[in-house]
Amino acid sequence: MTTDSQARLVVNWGHLALLAVIGGVVVAYLVDARGVSLRTNNLLLVQPTAILALILVAAVLPQCFRRVPEGEEAAAEPLSDLGRVGALAAAFAAFALSLETVGFDIATMLFMVVGLYICGERRWWLNLVFSAVFTVLLIYGYGAIIPFPFPLTIL
């Protein structure tokens, strides 16, 4: 963060991280595609599009920095809000990765209990009852539509 006499430069780190991810993916993809072959049939669309994407990343980059007049606070989101999103996202990722190993029934039940808690349901009995009923209904309901079985442990 830099400061001058009239205004402070505030960095939007989240936006910067997103741009870094997009830029990183584009560069990695371009390098990979060029590593496969340099022939036109391979790079005709990918190379110009990747270069355009990088130009656009460079064009958006300055938008991650804002000048805020001295003395004025930049509006910030409470960290607890971001924490809740992060916790739900982590639980969601764990759910998706564990589905096949622990079974859809256990994974769903666990994710529902944790998810409901993160989303604000603090009454444990209601949380457990809803999660259990929802899991059973979904597994049998979806199972009726889908012709192949979900890997299950208990149900």
- Contacts with another protein in 67-126 (CB under 8 A)? 67-69, 72, 74, 81, 84-85, 88-89, 92-93, 95-97, 99-100, 104, 108, 111-112, 115-116, 118-121
The H or E element containing residue 34 is: helix 13-36
Separation CA 95–CA 114 (nearest Å):
10
Nearer to another protein, 60 or 132 (CB): 60
**Per CB under 8 A, 132 contacts another protein:** no
Tokens of 10: 């505030």
Interface residue with another protein among 1, 79, 147, 154 (CB under 8 A) is: 147
Which parts of 13-72 interact with another protein (CB under 8 A)? 14-15, 17-18, 21-22, 25-26, 28-29, 32-33, 36-37, 39-42, 44-46, 49-50, 52-53, 56-57, 59-63, 65-69, 72
CB of residue 92 to another protein, shortest distance in Å: 6
Angle 146-148-153 (CA atoms, 0-180°, nearest 5)? Answer: 105
Separation CA 104–CA 153 (nearest Å):
7
Contact 98, 107 (CB under 8 A): yes
Tell me the C-alpha to C-alpha distance, in Å, between residue 121 and each of 23, 25, 47, 80. Answer: 39, 37, 49, 16
CB of residue 27 to another protein, shortest distance in Å: 11
Give the phi and the psi of residue 154 in degrees, each rounded to 5.
Answer: -110, -50
CB of residue 88 to another protein, shortest distance in Å: 6
**Per CB under 8 A, 152 contacts another protein:** no
Interface residue with another protein among 102, 128, 136, 138 (CB under 8 A) is: 138
